[in-house]
A and B are shown apart, each in its own frame.
Chain A
Amino acid sequence: MSTSTVVGTRDDEQIPSTGGQRRRRRTSHQVEASAHHRGPLWTAAGYVGMVLVVLVIAVPLFWILLTSFKERGDIYVRPAQWWPDPVTGQNYSELTTRIPFFDYVRNSVIITSATSVAKIVLGVISAYALSLLRFPGRSVVFLVVIAALMVPNQITVISNYALVAQLGWRNTFQGIIIPLAGVAFGTFLMRNQFLSLPGEIIEAARLDGAGPMKLLWRVVMPMSWPTLVAFALITVVNEWNEYLWPFLMSDDETTAPLPVGLTFLQNNDGVTNWGPVMAGTVLAMLPILVLFLFLQRQMIKGLTAGAVKS
């Protein structure tokens, strides 16, 4: 493989077709891992391993889900009672009356969609300029963009907090969204994608008199949808889960997103009332897990595409 080749995810059995827009990467020597000449003992051990892994991941999630449907008395009991008896929805109704749950959901939707749209647009146009336009200092600008990946958010929050507070933007949506909108990873991802496009097609479009913007929308983007979708999914998941910055910026339900709102629920209780808290975490996990269920391949593609062989 040539330099800067993206580590390919092998197209596996469950894959939806990507419309043939993208070449499947297969190296000539890829062979199914050689399980066929291993003994039955190995295979059995493999299945035991798989069952163990599933238990370790799924049992805690299942426990949380069951707890969210238990009556209070069934939660605080020893030995633990696994099955809710009777099944009750009271934790969910208590959750929505005790904290303004739907306000947090609304805030999460606003923050996630605004930040994601900003990041996706900025990522695409920056990547386009850095890959297909020619200008002096291009590699320096690219370095400036990706070096930002090395700067942890946690180090920048102090000064950013002061700046945003000075602007009077604390506890506002713009105060949460704008400082998060700069995009380094996505620029990197999309630039790699654009550079991987066949140069002849780009040249041909240019010779046909396509201007730079037409080139982007009519030629470059239609060939790049799978990568863009991967980038968009990673961004949406990250923004939905973003915690530290909104935690510092939001004071109440006017702007706090769901993860921060859950913390407020926790704070309200001297002794934690686990029922409604578990109901809240279930509802916070659900949308992303559903998204994941349908689009996991694209999500994984975005992540693995970031792992570049150099």
Chain B
Amino acid sequence: MQSSVTQPQSAAPRSGGPPPEVGPPPRRSSGRAWEWSLAALLLLPNLLLLIVFTYRPLLDNIRLSFTDWNISSPIANPVGLSNYIEWFGRDDTKIIVRNTLIFTVATVGISMAVGLGLALLLDQKLKGRNLVRSVVFAPFVISGAAIGIAFQFVFDPQFGLVRDLLARIGVASPDFYQEPGWALFMVTVTYIWKNLGYTFVIYLAALQGRRADLDEAAEIDGATAWTRFRRVLMPQLRPTTFFLSITVLLSSVQVFDIINVMTRGGPQGNGTTTLVYQVYQETFVNQRAGYGATVATIMFVILLAVTVVQVRFMDRGKQA
């Protein structure tokens, strides 16, 4: 970083600098071949990395899902569809899909709604709003693992912050460590707490780029605050809402760090296990990489389908 930062200075004298030289006439044919090979040279390292470490494993994952591979052995025997049949038939699948759904719907819904609410609040001319904006955004930049560990203590049913606050109003703390429902609640709240700043800043940026004159016109026409919100503001925020619904969904479905440090998928075996956590557990803990790859493939197909539906929905909304 440091060395490249000096660049603008060296470029500075450009304006007053060397006398304008008349360039050579463009050498079209040889110039073009040169441009092509330069482009290839510049793009190749990145493309190679993406192909080897993103696209290759994506396809390899599908192949592995039809095997009984155990991650360490060199041999992977083909087993046909049996991993898929097993997944659809297993009892824990229902619980894990349910956990994933609850976690995802809650995190996406709440962080988008509250993020928008906070953006609306902190777009008002209130004293100290810049400080509050920073405070809301800060948790987003902290490591999820560190937050997970810290919040494990915050939710400690015996000596934690939540227990203490509840005790002050005379409520006994739920057992966040042992009861699956409360454990899922704990990781969901922790995730929202950490990631709220993201939806907030994106919505705030969108609010700041909106056309205030439309809102004023509606107000002069006698529209109520609620109508203006629904009919004037929300349509303008539609592209942002769409963008967020996809990015927030993708990142919440992928959560690993918080679950791994807080609950390891437990309590009671799979109380907070989501699909991503199941991929990890089956592959690296139970050494059933073939089955893990099956879960990963199913998850990818679901994500792809959901994204396609979201894009469709967006397109239809545009025409309407």
Shortest Cβ distance from A55 into B: residue: B135
Among the stretches A86-94, A95-103, A125-133, A192-200, the one at the interface with B is A125-133
B109-134 interface mask toward A, CB cutoff 8 Å, 1 = contact, 0 = none?
00000000010011111101110101
Which residues, 254 to 287 on A, are CB-close (under 8 Å) to B? 258-260, 262-263, 266, 272, 274, 277-278, 280-281, 284-285
A56-72 interface mask toward B, CB cutoff 8 Å, 1 = contact, 0 = none?
11111101100100000
Kindly state the interface size class of chain A when it binds its partner.
35 or more
**Closest Cβ–Cβ distance, residue B202 to chain A (whole Å):** 5
**A residues in contact with B317, CB < 8 Å:** none
- Whether the Cβ atoms of B125 and A57 lie closer than 8 Å is no
A41 at the interface (CB under 8 A from B): no
Query: Given A263-B145, A300-B137, A307–B50 Cβ distance below 8 Å?
Result: no
- Whether the Cβ atoms of B143 and A243 lie closer than 8 Å is yes
Partner of A212, one of B38, B129, B164, B292: B38
- Whether the Cβ atoms of A159 and B64 lie closer than 8 Å is yes
Residue among A64, A78, A240 with the highest chain B CB neighbour number at 10 A: A64
A153 at the interface (CB under 8 A from B): yes
- Whether the Cβ atoms of B42 and A158 lie closer than 8 Å is no
Partner of B145, one of A63, A153, A178, A262: A262
Cα A1 to Cα B178 in complex, Å, equals: 53
Cα A6 to Cα B118 in complex, Å, equals: 22
Which residues, 140 to 156 on A, are CB-close (under 8 Å) to B? 141, 144-145, 148, 150-156
A22 at the interface (CB under 8 A from B): no
Partner of B54, one of A34, A148, A266, A296: A148
Shortest Cβ distance from B279 into A: residue: A154
- Whether the Cβ atoms of B57 and A158 lie closer than 8 Å is yes
Cα A58 to Cα B139 in complex, Å, equals: 9
**Closest Cβ–Cβ distance, residue B214 to chain A (whole Å):** 8
- Whether the Cβ atoms of A50 and B122 lie closer than 8 Å is yes
Residue among B137, B208, B279 with the highest chain A CB neighbour number at 10 A: B208
- Whether the Cβ atoms of A155 and B209 lie closer than 8 Å is no
- Whether the Cβ atoms of A263 and B161 lie closer than 8 Å is no
- Whether the Cβ atoms of A241 and B142 lie closer than 8 Å is yes
- Whether the Cβ atoms of B296 and A154 lie closer than 8 Å is yes
- Whether the Cβ atoms of B209 and A7 lie closer than 8 Å is yes
Cα A120 to Cα B3 in complex, Å, equals: 14
- Whether the Cβ atoms of A159 and B61 lie closer than 8 Å is yes
Among the stretches B87-95, B100-108, B152-160, the one at the interface with A is B152-160
- Whether the Cβ atoms of B125 and A309 lie closer than 8 Å is no
**Closest Cβ–Cβ distance, residue B287 to chain A (whole Å):** 12
Residue among B128, B141, B243, B256 with the highest chain A CB neighbour number at 10 A: B141
Partner of B125, one of A32, A117, A134: A32
Among the stretches B180-188, B265-273, B299-307, the one at the interface with A is B299-307
B18-34 interface mask toward A, CB cutoff 8 Å, 1 = contact, 0 = none?
00110110000000100
- Whether the Cβ atoms of A154 and B280 lie closer than 8 Å is yes
**Closest Cβ–Cβ distance, residue B209 to chain A (whole Å):** 5
- Whether the Cβ atoms of A33 and B207 lie closer than 8 Å is yes
Query: Given A187-B46, A222-B11, A156–B54 Cβ distance below 8 Å?
Result: yes
- Whether the Cβ atoms of A307 and B146 lie closer than 8 Å is no
Cα A168 to Cα B139 in complex, Å, equals: 37
**B residues in contact with A284, CB < 8 Å:** 143, 145-146
Query: Given A135-B36, A158-B71, A126–B42 Cβ distance below 8 Å?
Result: yes
**A residues in contact with B82, CB < 8 Å:** none
Which residues, 259 to 277 on B, are CB-close (under 8 Å) to A? 260-261, 276
6 contacts across the A-B interface (CB closer than 8 A): A80-B163, A154-B254, A209-B24, A243-B144, A281-B147, A284-B143
